[in-house]
Amino acid sequence: MSDLKDLAFTVQQSVDVPPFESLTRRATHRRNRRRVSVAATVSAVVAAVLIVGTLSGGSSRTLPIAPQPTVSMSDRDGEVLVNNPNSNVESFAATDSTHWAAAWVRCPNNDCASAAVLSSNGRKAYTPVRSGSWATLVADKEPIAVYGPNVPAPVGDDDPPGDGLLVRLTDQGPVRTALRYLPPTRTWEEGELVTDKVMPGVLVVLNLKKSTLRRLDLPGSADGSTASRSPIQDSTGRWWFLGGRGPDRMLWTDDRGKSWHHEVLDPNHAGTWLAVSGNGRTVVATSTSAMTGDNWLQRLEMLKVSTDAGASWRTVSGLPYAIDGNAAALDDGTVLLPGQQLDEHRTSLYTISGGQVRAKDSGPQFLDGFAGGPGLLYGVVAAQPAGAMDQVALSTDRGKSWDYLEPR
């Protein structure tokens, strides 16, 4: 029985704690972040600094998550927030069109609150409402929702574990499990999940069976890559990251952090996106720079792709001027990239194969969180740059056609 199936027998827990500061957004979620006030952005930066300062060093004993406030623990309140017409999709994860998880956020007067919904063959489960962001992930081939601590700190062994929470939807119904925080680590075990989506700007190791979180500090053998991000595991067990000190690079490890390999991405511009195919053969990374004015697209500076699992790399030319989200890497060496030319006002889905770049028919507009593989591609869309982000586009034919879902 898998780790996630073991959780089906976990006692459901709830935490009743008071509200805390405003929403923290992941730095990579650039669109929704721009809808939040400058004050909320400053809070996110301060929270990330506090996380690093609080967690460094540490004791050798097990440290539960410090008690964190919550807006509400009522699943009904979560359902109300998700179905509010003024809420926006914050993140989405899916294994197919009938098994998915979506996080929603609503910010009346810049007072943000969020909740998530999980769906399995038409059955729905809603999370409690929180004033921080829910992360939606795929773990052990199952969509889950995770709420991480804002600023974890040492507390007594007898204190409550805080409001870190894992929510999943099983055949027996929704299961909620409180998360504990353990001391930082430089390696992780088989079956554990590495992610940068649960705590803003911080790599953490999530153990589903033990319901624990640990901060991941990558060692000097990975070029001191304390700023590494975008962890992705392929079907061979290899983990890929983007980051590093100095020029950003692609990093990969076959032994869960004990040894590392790397390839420089761009010596002059910051790395932005990383995508890896399911079989680990196709890897693509992009570097970007900021656009001028109010344009929220990013100027595409460089794109490197490997079709042999990192043994060799090619810098691709003839790219669109700007990109509108992450690329998707397919097992056969194909890369799909949402982008725009300088004189265009619509996003097109570009195909990169054999070093050649071709524009496909116009795809979904302003696609964010683009992800998936040959069986399912998906991403959050909006009708216009300032419009509501309340739909997800899904394709089962490599982007030739798209269906639209409002994941409530």
Strands (E), 307-396: 314-315, 322-323, 328-329, 335-340, 348-353, 356-362, 368-372, 377-381, 391-395
pLDDT in tens, 215-233: 888 765 454 444 578 899 9
pLDDT in tens, 108-121: 988 999 999 999 99
Number of CB atoms found within 10 A of residue 308's CB: 12
Strands 88-96 and 212-216 turn out to be unpaired
Model confidence at 43: pLDDT above 50: no
DSSP output for 279-309: TS--EEEEEEEEPSTT--SEEEEEEEEESST
Mean pLDDT value of segment 297-325: 91
The pTM (predicted TM-score) of the whole model is: 0.78
Residues 6+ apart with CB under 8 A from 376: 94, 95, 96, 97, 394, 395, 396
